[in-house]
Amino acid sequence: MYQPPAFKETRKKVLLDAIAKHPLATLVCNTGEGLVANHLPMVADGDNTQLHSHLSRGNDLYQQCEEGTEVLAIFQGPTAYISADWYPGKKKSTAKKSPPIIMWWCMCAANCISSMKRAGNFTTSSLLPT
């Protein structure tokens, strides 16, 4: 995920708070069948070192993603489109050398890369926000 340095968040507590507020993750695994992605609610354990989620044995991800396989959990929080028109003086110019009008999408997201581990009825992964 591209993160401009001015907006990159590296504080683990802030990332964990974002995950706690928006716990639905897209869990992606590269399997022998190709990429498999599922949407799963995930929660951090008490010492914030692992993510836990229930994954049904009938789920393709459970069947195709072998223990120890690297997985990516993508958490997405609130998002919003930011228009350049919202800023005074940023109206489109007809001059050939005027600076470009920049608009962007403001978002809150956390990516966690780890390995799949099966523990009874639950699937866990080490918590490594990237």
pLDDT tens digit sequence for 2-47: 788 888 888 988 999 999 999 999 999 998 889 999 999 999 888 8
Domain holding 39, by residue range, is 8-76+109-126
Looking at the chain, the whole-number percentage of residues with pLDDT higher than 90 is 24
Has residue 12 been placed in a domain? yes
In the sheet that 122-126 helps form, which strands lie side by side, from edge to edge? 43-44, 50-54, 122-126, 117-119
Question: What is the C-alpha to C-alpha distance for residues 22 and 74, in angstroms, rounded to an integer?
Answer: 11
Domain count, the chain: 1
- pLDDT score recorded for residue 130: 44
Has residue 93 been placed in a domain? no
Has residue 99 been placed in a domain? no
Has residue 84 been placed in a domain? no
What CATH number corresponds to the domain at position 116? 2.30.110.10
Question: What is the C-alpha to C-alpha distance for residues 90 and 10, in angstroms, rounded to an integer?
Answer: 32
